[in-house]
Amino acid sequence: TTNTSSSSFRIHSSSSPMIEKEIPQFEKPSTFLRESEGDTSPNSSTSVRARFEKMIREAQDTVCSAIEAADGGAKFKEDVWSRPGGGGGISRVLQDGSVWEKAGVNVSVVYGTMPPDAYRAAKPSSGNADLKPGPVPFFAAGISSVLHPKNPFAPTLHFNYRYFETDAPKDAPGAPKQWWFGGGTDLTPAYLFEEDVKHFHLVQKDACDKFNGDFYPQFKKWCDDYFYIKHRGERRGLGGIFFDDLNAYDQEMLLSFATECAKSVIPAYIPIIERRKDMPFTDRHKAWQQLRRGRYVEFNLVYDRGTTFGLKTGGRIESILVSLPLTARWEYDHQPEEGTEEWELLDACINPKDWI
């Protein structure tokens, strides 16, 4: 169902000496971990790095299969890449399907050294005051996905689950190694169907409640706070769950929690798509969807930590920016009239609600 393209990166690698080259691969390795830590046997003593990689690669397969099945025709195109210093990734993109206009599901496993300013973008504040702002060797693995449907009544979905480890900072060799989990799943409709949003949030809550009763209310609020387009005074969409820098719990529990969240993506999303994908719509609906896609671009390029971190650290640009919609629109000073369906959606983006 996938094919590997080999002609990628020609322009980037020849013109951007600042950016570490990604090397296209023709075959998927069984692990992107460095040899010394590449133990992927399924016993419980396997490293968290290895088990997290296994989880995100399985989630990528599951989500892509479900999307292809629901789209009913289009197939994901796959790019496999590696980096000279270790690590790599698998980018899968479905473009111009019957249901989705652009759907990206990427996994990556990256070793690197964070410059202090990129480090701040990735993790601007937390309780880890013992981490110095000097260059920090890190390990990051994650799955990241944005699914933009064609039908303006079918919502965009984003999810991302990631595991981060730092080595001791180079200028503070005695400092302890740090780890944390981050992630979330959130829904961005152009039109508000309460039953969709309730279903979506209920699935998120169920996943959270299996682990900690505080998670859903806490991560729901975190999501509303995170996806805030400050210069607009509005959120990108209608939220879901979001968490970051999570390490104040048992590491095994958090690994299981992230796994559960990733498994909840399809049951949270596909039932909504099935209800909306064939609804008739007009040019007005399409134009409003496009304006909301413009807001999506604004959030991702200006505020999103993953995107700004990726742009600063020289990640694979096409993988990072696959989150952007196929098409977007900016009309000058567009204001939906009070009481319209467009206004209702915007109002819910300005004033987050409790959906459950």
Token pair in block for residue 56: 């995100």
248: contact with a second copy by CB under 8 A: no
298: contact with a second copy by CB under 8 A: yes
Q: Among residues 133 and 176, whose Cβ is nearest to a second copy?
A: 133
What CA–CA distance (Å, rounded) separates 185 from 176?
A: 30
Among 104, 169, 182, 240, binds a second copy (CB under 8 A): 104
Q: Among residues 53 and 234, whose Cβ is nearest to a second copy?
A: 234
Number of residues that bind a second copy (CB under 8 A): 47
350: contact with a second copy by CB under 8 A: yes
Interaction residues for a second copy, span 77-96 (CB under 8 A): 77, 79, 93, 95
Q: How far is the CB of 323 from a second copy (least distance, A)?
A: 9
Among 6, 7, 41, 45, binds a second copy (CB under 8 A): 7
Catalytic annotation present for 201 = no
Residues 6+ apart with CB under 8 A from 65: none
Q: How far is the CB of 347 from a second copy (least distance, A)?
A: 9
255: contact with a second copy by CB under 8 A: no
345: contact with a second copy by CB under 8 A: no
What CA–CA distance (Å, rounded) separates 326 from 96?
A: 9
Q: How far is the CB of 101 from a second copy (least distance, A)?
A: 10
Cβ-count burial of 354 within 10 angstroms (0-12 exposed, 13-18 middle, 19+ buried)? exposed
Q: What is the DSSP string of 100-115?
A: EEEEEEEEEEEEEEE-
Interaction residues for a second copy, span 41-80 (CB under 8 A): 77, 79
Residues 6+ apart with CB under 8 A from 328: 290, 293, 294, 296, 297
Q: Which stretch binds a second copy (CB under 8 A): 136-144, 165-173, 188-196, 325-333?
A: 325-333
286: contact with a second copy by CB under 8 A: no
Could you give the angle at which helices 251-263 and 194-209 cross, rounded to 10 degrees? Answer: 150
With vertex at residue 283, the alpha carbon angle to CA 281 and CA 287, rounded to the nearest 5 degrees, is 110
245: contact with a second copy by CB under 8 A: no
Catalytic residue among 12, 148, 158, 199: 158
Please give, one letter per residue, the 3-state secondary structure of 121-189. HHCCCCCCCCCCCCCEEEEEEEEEEEEEECCCCCCEEEEEEEEEEECCCCCCCCCCCEEEEEEEEEEEC
Q: Which stretch binds a second copy (CB under 8 A): 53-61, 108-116, 132-140, 311-319?
A: 311-319
One character per residue 194-233, x = contact with a second copy (rule: CB under 8 A): ------------------------------------xxxx
What CA–CA distance (Å, rounded) separates 306 from 316?
A: 12
What CA–CA distance (Å, rounded) separates 352 from 239?
A: 8
Q: How far is the CB of 318 from a second copy (least distance, A)?
A: 4
294: contact with a second copy by CB under 8 A: yes
What CA–CA distance (Å, rounded) separates 24 from 4?
A: 9
What CA–CA distance (Å, rounded) separates 338 from 90?
A: 45
Q: How far is the CB of 222 from a second copy (least distance, A)?
A: 20
- Tokens 């759907």 correspond to what residue? 103
What CA–CA distance (Å, rounded) separates 44 from 256?
A: 13
Binding site for a second copy (CB under 8 A): 5, 7-8, 10-12, 15-16, 18-19, 77, 79, 93, 95, 102, 104, 230-234, 290, 294, 297-298, 301-302, 311, 314, 317-318, 320-322, 324-333, 335, 346, 350
- Positions annotated as catalytic residues are 158
